[in-house]
């Protein structure tokens, strides 16, 4: 039976076996005695869950060693070796969404590095497994979108990015990638709207200041605006004007 906890930052509810909030990415580290939320019901629940999994009588530390070894190999870009370590961990904790996603990312990198498009499909299979367990995990939708884009399945990529945006609309990376997929479909007004959103979220630069001075007009009603959608008719189609 799955235990649930609430994120100490955004109060999002997620499975206790996950070591980070799938909505905002806040890491729940119960190994630190001086955690900012030490002693809370959420931490007690997660501490109890981890303690049960690490019961000395079961001598069950090996899976976590495999996991940490896999993470280290990932940082060294040794993706095939990392996958083998993740597989050992997943034999015990098959429903760990973060590790399923990490395994998918390894496959994605192998596909890119060795020009093996079939690896993207394999990665998507692992992303789908993670989604089936926790559909509100931002990273899995974002990474699924990246793979779908590389497979030139742009409409599906956009659908994945939209799911990620529903979970965390304030991450400029997903808006940027959605804009790229829209561009490949020839939907340039839509891509411009996405790029404007990136500038809005991450526009504390000279480029962002220049971009904010540009003016757009709604194609449907002619209203002048710089928003994602027209404040008058809600259309997201606009064109650059004077």
Domain segments of the chain: what residues?
1-60, 62-168
Which range has the top average pLDDT, 47-56, 159-168, 203-212, 217-226? 159-168
For residue 51, is pLDDT > 80? no
**Which pLDDT belongs to residue 178?**
97
**Which pLDDT belongs to residue 28?**
52
Per the DSSP assignment, residues forming a β-bridge with 14 are: 5
For the entire predicted model, the pTM comes to: 0.64
For residue 226, is pLDDT > 90? no
Pick the CATH number of 62-168 from 3.40.30.10, 3.50.50.60, 3.20.20.150, 1.25.40.10: 1.25.40.10
**Which pLDDT belongs to residue 18?**
57
pLDDT average, residue stretch 11-27 = 57
Split at pLDDT 50, 70, 90, the class of 231 is confident
For residue 161, is pLDDT > 50? yes
């Amino acid at each position: 039976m799955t235990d649930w906890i609430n994120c100490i930052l955004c109060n999002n509810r997620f499975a206790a076996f996950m070591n980070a909030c799938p909505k905002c990415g806040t890491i729940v580290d119960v190994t630190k005695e001086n955690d900012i939320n030490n002693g809370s019901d959420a931490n007690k629940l997660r501490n109890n869950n981890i303690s049960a999994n690490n019961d000395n009588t079961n001598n069950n530390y090996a899976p976590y060693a495999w996991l940490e070894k896999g993470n280290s190999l990932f940082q060294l870009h040794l993706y095939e070796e990392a996958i083998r370590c993740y597989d050992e961990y997943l034999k015990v904790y098959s429903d760990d969404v973060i590790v399923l996603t990490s395994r998918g990312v390894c496959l994605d990198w192998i596909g890119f590095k060795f020009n093996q498009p079939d690896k993207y499909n394999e990665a998507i299979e692992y992303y789908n497994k993670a989604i089936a367990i926790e559909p509100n995990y931002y990273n899995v939708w974002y990474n699924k979108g990246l793979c779908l884009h590389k497979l030139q399945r742009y409409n599906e990529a956009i659908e994945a990015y939209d799911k990620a945006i529903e979970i965390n609309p304030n991450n400029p990376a997903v808006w940027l990638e959605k804009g790229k997929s829209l561009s490949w479909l020839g939907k340039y007004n839509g891509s411009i709207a996405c790029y404007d959103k990136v500038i809005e979220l991450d526009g504390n630069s000279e480029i962002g200041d220049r971009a904010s001075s540009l003016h757009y007009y709604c194609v449907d009603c002619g209203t002048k605006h710089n928003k994602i959608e027209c404040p008058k008719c809600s259309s997201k189609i606009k064109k650059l004007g004077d």
